[in-house]
Amino acid sequence: MILLLQFLVAHFLGDFVFQPAKWVRSKEEKKIKSKFLYAHIFVHFLALVLVFQGDFQYWRSMLIVLVSHYFIDLSKLYLKGKIEEKLLFLLDQMAHLSVIVLLSFSIQPFLNFENFRLDSKDWLLLAAILAVSAVSSVIIRVLMSSWRMEDRSSEGASRESLPNAGMYIGILERLFAFTFIVMGEWQAIGFLIAAKSVFRFSDLTRAKDRKLTEYILIGTLLSFMLAVVFGLLYLELKKVSLM
Domain boundaries, the chain: 2-107, 120-242
Please give the average per-residue pLDDT across 45-54, as a whole number.
Answer: 96
How many other C-beta atoms lie within 10 A of the C-beta of residue 41? Answer: 15
Q: Which residues contact 103 (CB under 8 A, 6 or more apart)?
A: 7, 61, 64, 65
25-29, 104-108, 154-158, 210-214 — most confident range: 25-29
pLDDT band at 114 (very low <50, low <70, confident <90, very high): low
Rounded to an integer, what distance in angstroms lies between the CA atom of residue 111 and that of residue 57?
22
Q: Give the amino acid at 64.
A: I
User: DSSP assignment, residue 161?
Assistant: S
Q: Is 80 helix (H, G, I), strand (E, B) or coil?
A: strand
Residue 206 has a pLDDT of 57
Please give the average per-residue pLDDT across 117-126, as a whole number.
Answer: 82
159-197 core/surface letters (b: 16 or more CB in 10 A; e: else): eeeeeeebeebbbebbebbbbbbeeeeeeebeebbeebe
Poorest-pLDDT segment among 40-44, 45-49, 70-74, 105-109: 105-109
pLDDT band at 204 (very low <50, low <70, confident <90, very high): low
For residues 220 and 213, which has the higher predicted lDDT (pLDDT)? Answer: 220
Decide if pLDDT at 151 tops 90: no
Rounded to an integer, what distance in angstroms lies between the CA atom of residue 123 and that of residue 241?
11
